A and B are shown apart, each in its own frame.
Chain A
Amino acid sequence: MRIHFSYQLIVSVLIASISVISCKKDDVDVIDPAVKNSVSIQFENRVGDQKLVLGTPAYKNAAGEPFALTTLNYFISNISLKKEDGTVQKFPNQYFLVRQADAASQVITLKDVPSGNYSEMSFMVGVDSAKSVSPVSERVGALDVTGYGTDGMYWSWNSGYIFLKIEGTSTAVPATVSASQSFAMHVGGYGGGWNGSAKTVNNLRTVTVPMTTKATVRGNIAPEIHLFVDALTIFNGPNKISLATTNSVHMPAAATPIADNYKTMFQVDHVHNDKQ
């Protein structure tokens, strides 16, 4: 009787577990690249371990110079996402202008991203050379050369976009140089070469950042990649910039050390893969 009961139990447990397994099988994580969703990328600008707030004179660079920022703008383009199997998904012809003064601009959304597990992201800081010489009729949205107002993200006298602009004030800036002790660093220069002319300084930089937590795009998951962008790196990167001596940069050659610095200022802090 007891034995018989045990057999029954075992059989029923077996049946139950089989049905559980088969049930799980229906629920298994099938990645179908034909199923697409969006990926958003948030650029959270910081200064070292402080929140970046425009106008706050709370920051100090490696040279020990206190400073406040009034502007931090940069172009992001040519984004690509790399899957764990090494294949790369590109997002061409999408250009974004991230402005510290505009919170909405700090979140970029990529649409129609195929399902997959993405473990690395690349993007360009700036506007690539092909787009930099394209017809004005193609310069719409973030690329409209007439659209920047006082932000002035375009060099009218030396045709080209300003890839990154950082402006502010510092008591380290000699008053003899700027009565208001303000500094301005404008980084541009896509390499020239138009109309068969000579190549010029190229300050386009491509940033590649790994994602320890993969962005797992699914039909019901639209990942959010959260980047920390440390503006202090613009001064404290591989090249140490002192505001006492470098406070007005408006030409590509002088801007190269700054571009090399900001290339290292981006890192993925975390990824949200919340189910919708």
Chain B
Amino acid sequence: MNMRMNLKRGLGGAGLVLGLMACHSTDQEAQPEQLFQQPANFPQPIYALDQNRPTVAGVALGKALFYDGILSRDGSISCAECHNQAYAFTHHQHDVSHGIDNQVGTRNALPIQNLAWASDFFWDGGVHSLDLVPIAPIENPVEMDEKTTNVISKLRASARYPSLFKAAFGSDEINGPRFLQALSQFMLTMVSGNSRYDKWVRKEPGGTLTDDEQAGLTAFRTKCSGCHTGELFTDNRFRNNGLFIQGSKDEGRAHVTELPEDRYTFKVPSLRNVEKTLPYMHDGRFYSLEAVLDHYAENVQRTENLDPLLMQTDKSGQVRLGIALTADEKRQIIAFLKTLTDDQFLRDPRFAVQ
């Protein structure tokens, strides 16, 4: 593959290029590797791929940056510090993430997966483009505590990066847009769409669900999919799910919009690989899926802007907070949620530290 690409790059004669092109149209093996793979059961991506389509060299550069502590003030913290592949790129067993000098933030690290289908980033949606995401952890004083300008300077001065930038962008100029676009290219390739559930939906080999899992899916569709919608299992909206207001009294989306109707609302997270992304909620207060379902079944609080879907009026006209779930339903829903675990993604060497 690489040899073919290098060969093509080295060719000057138009006739030879044409010859290769003709070859491409007939020879399936000569097609460029699909770095961004859209699962057949997923909707169209939101990210404008035509403006920054992942290339082999661009993804390689993005991966190098993702795993490099050079992005932090003292070289100690890379993106992978809080985004560990084995846990769907979350910070395992940390309710809130630990950054530089072992300082802690106020929110639980979100997984990095299927970001091409995300419209807003972070729990409050404060960042509106994937390309702008890396600046936030880099410049956050309790995460990487570095100035992005300084990261660019360090990359320029490094022995390693000029050639990687040249391979990715055609010249060894290192600048902000290229840096951000390379990180996006790598993150865009991190697609999780090969769970057992996906194979079941696509009727592929290995796509079997047990009776409990199927019952769980049925219950999920009735009781959870109002927010955890579609194949990404999120409607990409911001909702108040009735958590006790505690700790930092985080106001969520209102922190960026300053709108009263957004107070205590947070992003509806995807549930893909949810088995591995514990702990749960914006502040990581629940350590198990059982605790999450117990919250929805029994502990939803009527706080400001509680989502209407969590305030159901029953037949007798009584308002019931939360979601009615029997013990069996909870067990079955959790069994179903575990079918969203995508082992291929969690072990994919393309995303792994080298």
> Which residues of B are in contact with A by a Cβ distance under 8 Å?
48, 51-52, 119-120, 122, 125-129, 131-132, 135-136, 138-140, 147-152, 175-177, 179-181, 255-259, 261-262
Contacts and interface: CB of A to CB of B under 8 A. Distances in A.
Nearest to A137: B177
A145 B148 contact: yes
Given A157-B136, A197-B257, A146 B180 contact: yes
12 contacts: A133-B128, A135-B129, A136-B177, A137-B181, A146-B177, A157-B127, A158-B255, A159-B126, A159-B132, A195-B120, A197-B120, A200-B259
A141 B333 CA distance: 52
A127 to B, nearest CB: 14
Q: How large is the interface on A (under 10, 10 to 19, 20 to 34, 35 or more residues)?
A: 20 to 34
Contacts of A137: 51-52, 177, 181
9 closest A-B pairs by CB: A146-B176, A146-B148, A149-B149, A156-B135, A156-B136, A136-B131, A158-B126, A158-B256, A253-B258
B136 A136 contact: no
A252 B149 contact: no
Contacts of B136: 156-157
Contacts of B259: 198, 200
Interface in A193-227: 194-195, 197-198, 200-201
A228 B257 CA distance: 34
B258 A201 contact: yes
B132 A145 contact: yes
Contact of A149 (B135, B140, B147, B257): B147
Nearest to A201: B258
A140 B127 contact: no
A265 to B, nearest CB: 25
B179 A146 contact: yes
A159 B149 contact: no
A251 B258 CA distance: 8
Contact of B139 (A133, A156, A197): A156
Interface string A241-255: 000000000011100
A7 interface: no
A198 B128 CA distance: 13
Given A135-B51, A136-B131, A156-B135, A192 B177 contact: no
A152 B147 contact: yes
Contact of A146 (B48, B126, B127, B135): B135
A148 B180 CA distance: 15
B176 A147 contact: yes
A160 to B, nearest CB: 9
A150 interface: yes
